[in-house]
Structures are given as C-alpha cells and as structure tokens.
Amino acid sequence: MSSLIGPDEDVTAGKPPVPDDVQEAVRTLIRWAGDDPEREGLLDTPTRVARAWKEYCLGYEEEPATHLSRVFEEVGGYDEIVLLKDIPFQSHCEHHMAPIIGKAAIAYLPTERVVGISKLARVLHGYARRLQIQERLTAQVAQCIWDHLKPRGVAVVIEASHACMTARGVRTPGVSMVTSHVMGTFRSDQRSRQEVLQLMGY
C-alpha cells in the first residue's frame, strides 16, 4: 500500500479548523518579518503554525497533578530516594516564545506510598507544554509532587538550552542553564541534599 498522499487528498482531514483571525495573525507576522504570505511555500504556513502552537501548549488543557492521583502503598518497606533522571522535555520561553530544550531529574523521598515513575515525566511535560520560564517550571514540578505525594523530600533539577539566547540576542550557542528546587529533608538536611544531587550527577 502506498503511503503517498494524492494531490486531491485533504491532509487536514479530521483536524479542527483554525480560526481566521489566528491565521491572519500569522500572515501579519510573516509580512512584518519581510516575506509574502501569499507565495506558494507560505500559503499553508498560517494553519501549520497555529496547529503547531496548539500542540506546543497542550499543557494548558490538563492538570498535571491528576497524574499523581494513583499511588502504590505496597512498597515492601522501601523508604529511600526514588529518582528519575535525564527526562527530555521541550518548552517555550514566555518572553520570546522561543524553544527551551533540556532534561530534568526528579527525586522524592517517599513516606508510605510511591507513584508510577512515568507519572513524574507526565507532571514535567504538563507544566513544560506551556509558555514558561525555567525557574518557575522547576518550582512547579517540585511543588506538585510535594503537595500530592506528601513525601519527606523533593528535589528537581532542570538543565536546558534557551533559543532566545542561543539563536538571537547575545547569540551564544552551546550554553545551558541549570535550576534546582529542593523541599523537605533535601532542604533541611545537608547530607540528604548532597546525596540526591550526587545521584542526579550534580
């Protein structure tokens, strides 16, 4: 079976329509940037850009905390650090709407319950798929886990590259920003803090 799309097939079938004012906003930006939105290569760009941004910002359509609603209490007495690291994510800077691309490490010290590890990544993505600054993203992930799992400690470290710095402005590629947010035991006990950061590779 051929996977090629015929010239008369509608590649947007099944997708919701993009409002005219949204498409016109993209056309206006194209004109302002110096190009012609009516030329062949840009004719469908307003619709594509609008749908892409709807996908980039899916986090506005969910409550990340819901991913922590199902917990497991049969942990066999386990009460040490739970860590998920090198979690890739993408977000967009709220100042320039430029990409933020990076990785996160999320750790918590459970009391009597744990959560499926994929849920930690889902919490991260729920907040990342919004217009963000890295500092707030780091704090939001930590606070969500603290509030809903009630652990003894939470630690979140995010390392990311910001296109608003690497591709414009100071134009300095190859740099990354690191932010951390620790709560509970990881904040009050220096040894616990050192242990979790060492496990994370920091």
pLDDT tens for each residue of 141-178: 999 999 999 999 999 999 999 999 999 888 999 999 99
Note the helical H segments in the chain. Answer: 20-33, 45-56, 117-128, 134-149, 163-166, 185-188, 190-200
Q: Mind telling me the catalytic residues?
A: 93-96, 134, 162, 164
DSSP 64: G
% of the chain at pLDDT higher than 90: 85
Name the 3-class secondary structure at 91.
Answer: strand
**pLDDT value for 150:** 94
Residue 13 binned pLDDT confidence (cut-offs 50, 70, 90): low
The pLDDT assigned to 16 comes to 82
Q: Which residues contact 85 (CB under 8 A, 6 or more apart)?
A: 103, 104, 105, 106, 107, 199, 200, 201
- CA 123 to centroid of chain Cα atoms: 9
Q: Which pLDDT belongs to residue 10?
A: 43
pLDDT for res 15: 85
- Cα-Cα-Cα-Cα dihedral of 35, 41, 43, 48, to 10°? -100
Residue 8 has pLDDT above 50, yes or no: no
pTM assigned to the model: 0.90
Closest CA to 102 of 53, 59, 162: 162
> Can you tell me the distance from the alpha carbon of 159 to that of 141, in angstroms, rounded to the nearest whole number?
14
Tokens of 79: 């009460």
Q: How far apart are the first and last CA of the chain?
A: 50
Distance CA 161, CA 99 (A): 8
